[in-house]
Amino acid sequence: MLPLNATITQITEESPMVRTFFFDPGFEGLEPGQFVMVWIRGVDEIPMGLSRNNSITVQKVGEATSKLFELKEGDSFGLRGPFGKGFTLPVKGEKILVIAGGVGAAPLSPYAEAAFVAGAEVHTILGARSTGDLLFEGRFDALGKVSVSTDDGSKGVKGFVTDILKSLDVAAYDRIAVCGPEIMMSSVFRLLEERHVLEKAEFSLHRYFKCGIGVCGACCIDQSGLRVCKDGPVFTGVQLIGSELGKYSRDASGRRVKI
Amino acid sequence: MYTLTGLKLKNPTILAAGVLGTTGASLCRVAREGGAGAVVTKSIGPAPKTGHSNPSMVRLDCGFLNAMGLPNPSYPGFLQELEFAKNNSSVPVIASIFGGNPAEFAEVAEGLLSANPDAFELNVSCPHAEGYGAAVGSNPCLVEAVTAAVKDVVNVPVWVKLTPNVADIRSIGTAAESGGADAVVAINTLKGMAIDIESGYPVLGNRSGGLSGKAVKPVAVKCVYDLYTALEIPVIGVGGISSWEDAVEMIMAGAAAVQVGSAVYDRVDIFSEIGAGIEAFLERKGYSDIKKIIGLAHEMV
């Protein structure tokens, strides 16, 4: 599949460093948690989680995202996907806990919405550095209970999502979906492991993608050798037991880099 | 059990270089879950390389285009991955290596020896890395010198992976054989390119790259067919193999074993499937051994 031409229809400023780019055409039949490869022509192609079936929500972190931030409505980028395996949707009546940190809220918001539509009871723990960085609070609010944590205490609990998680009876939930910075995810992982509920949990990982389609092997994780781009990016907690999560990842050359 | 340049393989299918070979764990997975008879690592060179910018691989209707640009952590950085693969997989692990000249090839081979790879595969065929790969592999004198340099420093089999992007692949195969190669591997990708007509940009970050998958199989079959006639050493066939029928065709052209690369896109366990398919075919046709069909096409006309 060559990249399709996606025209930017709208740009929304979510926070000073985070913008949502709506594009046309969107994707039908999206599995929440899947990703797309966004080609900023002449610069690079990067994986991005979909925040709706026609939007990506991007944090400005490097050369490619900086170039993306220079694009205006009416401009276009290349798009391949959706790729990978998303979150497992709950069935009617299930109680789900969504744990989102920073831009990790992007792939989790369509998941929480799909879960709500399926008839699940949704509780979200939403974390960010400060009030202005809380992403999609309104979208999560519309679905059920939202517990907020901010690093600086400007809203909700002062601290991390794990500070809220510690006070919950995690056994009461049927499914737990997690996405955010790896340090946060590994803290959540350890807590859920201690409480013996890893089989209910799913984590969306990020790794350096080269081919993005499951052939090259640049994104394989230890010790399973599973490919984040094709066997993931969403993995069950059980799949990640004893894995490299929270310890190291690999850079573009394949060298290990400490988290 | 099947013997190839002294290595014992449970079936004649091998994971091709550059595919799922960046980490020791993924090599083990291809052996364990995939059923490969042996695995080849990502090509490792003298210094860390990040490779070309993305897109580095795209799927086309007829195959795949890629220009990875030999990303690798260098031989010191790869040692722990190779050791992991050797310690945790029950199949032979072949180290694919590259360099810009005979001395660099020898340096990388020596640098990886402590991890005890079962063989080395010399990448003199990557079509899109300046100064490396096919830049070396289209010069017969250099191929012979590179092969001899590695043979001098290692005591395990040395395979040489050839590029089809030359006027006569037999002359390069002969050069590898003269340098002491234990086998040749044919082919690497064919030069190719794709352009995004909406913007006019070449799609690959490196602009052009190498074509693999279904489209290249007839080219690979012809190269293997020609090399089989020209060489005494075994020819390992690779290029567009995604089924046991493709593998049998390649073996009948003269391949002593086959490598599979892009086809892992569809399923990682393709190796078991091909291995079982070959076995069933041999039994159905009454061949006592795979050796009965290696190069069979040469005897027919």
Check residue B86 and give its pLDDT: 97
Half-sphere exposure (CA, 13 Å, Cβ side) for A47?
25
Tokens standing for residue A157:
């609990």
> What number of other Cβ atoms are within 10 A of residue B60's Cβ?
16
pLDDT score, position B248: 98
CA distances for A196 relative to A203, A241, B134, B227, angstroms: 16, 12, 53, 59
How many whole angstroms from its chain centre is CA A131?
Answer: 19
User: Has residue A47 been placed in a domain?
Assistant: yes
The answer to whether A211 is a known ligand-binding residue is: yes
Residues 6 or more apart whose Cβ sits within 8 Å of residue B33: B268, B269
Angle, CA A242 vertex, CA A240 and CA A245 arms, to 5°: 55
* pLDDT tops 90 at residue B130: no
Task: Please compute the mean of the pLDDT values over residues B84-103 and round it to a whole number.
Answer: 96
CATH number at residue A40: 2.40.30.10
What is the ipTM score, two decimals?
0.95
Residue B44 DSSP symbol: B
Cβ-Cβ contacts under 8 Å, A44 against chain B? 53-54, 205
Which pLDDT value is given to residue B128? 85
Mode of pairing for the β-strands spanning A44-52 and A4-15: unpaired
Distance (Å, rounded) from C-alpha B30 to C-alpha B39? 8
Q: Is residue A216 part of a domain?
A: no
Q: Read off the DSSP letter of residue A104.
A: G
The answer to whether residue A37 is domain-embedded is: yes
For the domain made up of B2-299, the CATH class stated in words is alpha beta
pLDDT digits 0-9 by tens, B25-81: 999 999 999 999 999 999 999 999 999 999 999 999 999 999 999 999 999 999 999
Q: Look at chain A and report how many structural domains it folds into.
A: 1
Number of CB pairs, chain A paired with chain B, less than 8 A apart: 137
pLDDT confidence of residue B129: 84
Q: For A159-176, what is each residue's pLDDT tens digit?
A: 999 999 999 999 999 999
Q: Between residues 16 and 35 of chain A, which touch chain B (CB distance below 8 Å)?
A: none
Joined tokens for residue B128: 């899109």
Q: What are the backbone dihedrals phi and psi of residue A165, each rounded to the nearest 5 degrees, phi first?
A: -55, -40
CA distance B196 to B148: 43
Query: Which segments of chain A have a pLDDT < 70?
Result: none
Determine if the pTM surpasses 0.80.
yes
Q: Is residue B1's pLDDT more than 90?
A: no
| Chain B touched by A209 (CB under 8 Å) | yes
- List the domain range (segments joined by +) for residue A37: 4-83
Catalytic site residues of B?
126
Within 8 A of B68 by CB-CB distance, chain A residues are: 210-211, 216
Give which of A88, A89, A109 is closest to A98, Cα–Cα.
A109
Identify the closest residue of chain B to A225 by CA–CA distance: B26
